[in-house]
Amino acid sequence: ENQKIQVALDGPASAGKSTVAKLVAKKFGYIYCDTGAMYRAVTLKAIQSQIELTDESAVVAMLKQTQISFQPGDPVQHVFIDGNEITEAIRQPKITNSVSTIASLGGVRAELVNRQRDIAKQSSIVMDGRDIGTAVLPNAPVKIFLIASVSERAERRYKENMGKGIETPLEQLKKEIEIRDHKDSTRKVSPLTKASDAIEVDTTSMSVEQVVDEITKIINEKIK
Ligand code: CDP
Ligand code: CDP
């Protein structure tokens, strides 16, 4: 079979998308594309270049001159802008809390969506983000919408931060997640929303392994 399989994985912040997407991609031998990393990369470069994050034409002009690339890695995929590694830099809280502003710019989305579709042409793929099933790959045969309660997602982020030596109070993380969810769900262009044909998986009380198993079942069901 030469047919390329596309798995669109969307959902709110810290629902477990990238963790699960990577494992599922590995299991099936598909490539993995973290579209959030692309929005984060644009945010980082705009801040470094002292471009106003709401100045759409300036940000888009900068983006057109910017190469964003990935290199597979375990456990994390490496991310580069113009050949410079930014894997860790794009996870800083400052970027996390500014990225929704960049993601609300229609011109930025148009450019990144084009690049994401080009990546998806290469191979079977698991792509995670906010608008993959609704806008980037609307014909993907497998669409999954991962959710989890805000408290659970804040706990996950808290543990993840602890591992990196970052100490942000749980209550603050909860607020930040709520703010980002709100911005992502209410923006005009391609807001975060479940595609009508996506399967929702509530991961609140599930382990990573359980979520991977559930998604594996869904994919096998679709490709048999
Ligand atoms: O991993 P986390 O849930 O923190 O976020 P991410 O997937 O790295 O995405 C960061 C931000 O990029 C999101 O909060 C959205 O504002 C934006 N994003 C988007 O608008 N569309 C996508 N397909 C992916 C991310
Ligand atoms: O990509 P997204 O922001 O949706 O989530 P993530 O960056 O994959 O982060 C989720 C965090 O929650 C990771 O530290 C996972 O180990 C943990 N986790 C999970 O992803 N899924 C579960 N069912 C339970 C925990």
Q: What is the mean pLDDT of residues 99-126?
A: 97
Q: What is the mean pLDDT of residues 176-180?
A: 94
The single-letter code of the amino acid at 154 is A
Task: Tell me how far the alpha carbon of residue 150 lies from the centroid of ligand 2, in angstroms.
Answer: 13
Q: What is the mean pLDDT of residues 92-120?
A: 96
Nearest CA owner, ligand 1 atom 4: 13
Condensed to tens digits (0 to 9), the pLDDT of residues 34-68 reads 999 999 999 999 999 999 999 999 999 999 999 99
Give the pLDDT confidence score for residue 2 in this predicted structure.
Answer: 58
Three-state SS string over 126-173 comes to EEEECCHHHHHCCCCCEEEEEECCHHHHHHHHHHHHHHCCCCCCHHHH
For the chain, the domains span 6-223
Could you confirm whether domain 6-223 is CATH 3.20.20.80?
no
Report which of residues 79 and 3 the model is more confident about: 79
Give the span between the Cα atoms of 223 and 83, in whole angstroms: 36
**ipTM greater than cut 0.90:** yes
Which residue, 91, 104, 222, is CA-closest to 165? 91
Q: What is the mean pLDDT of residues 134-149?
A: 97
Q: CB within 6 Å of ligand 2 — which residues? A: 11, 13-19, 156, 160, 203, 206-208, 211
Kindly report the average pLDDT of the chain as a whole number.
Answer: 95
Task: Tell me how far the alpha carbon of residue 148 lies from the centroid of ligand 2, in angstroms.
Answer: 10
Q: Residue 180 half-sphere exposure, CB side, CA atoms within 13 Å? A: 26
Q: Is residue 1 scored above 60 in pLDDT?
A: no
Q: What is the DSSP string of 61-120?
A: HHHHT--EEEE--SSS-EEEETTEE-TTGGGSHHHHTTHHHHHT-HHHHHHHHHHHHHHH
Q: What is the mean pLDDT of residues 12-16?
A: 95
Ligand nearest to the CA of 157: 2
Q: Are the beta carbons of 174 and 150 closer than 8 angstroms?
A: yes
Task: Tell me how far the alpha carbon of residue 33 lies from the centroid of ligand 1, in angstroms.
Answer: 12
Q: Is residue 223 scored above 90 in pLDDT?
A: no
Q: Are the beta carbons of 207 and 20 closer than 8 angstroms?
A: no
Pocket test of ligand 2: the residue of 208, 212, 213, 215 to mutate, having most ligand atoms within 8 Å of its CB, is 208
Task: Tell me how far the alpha carbon of residue 218 lies from the centroid of ligand 1, in angstroms.
Answer: 24
Give the span between the Cα atoms of 198 and 194, in whole angstroms: 6
pTM of the model: 0.95
CA–CA distances in Å: residue 121 to residues 1, 140, 146: 16, 12, 24
Ligand nearest to the CA of 104: 1
Ligand nearest to the CA of 205: 2
Q: What percent of the chain has pLDDT over 70?
A: 99
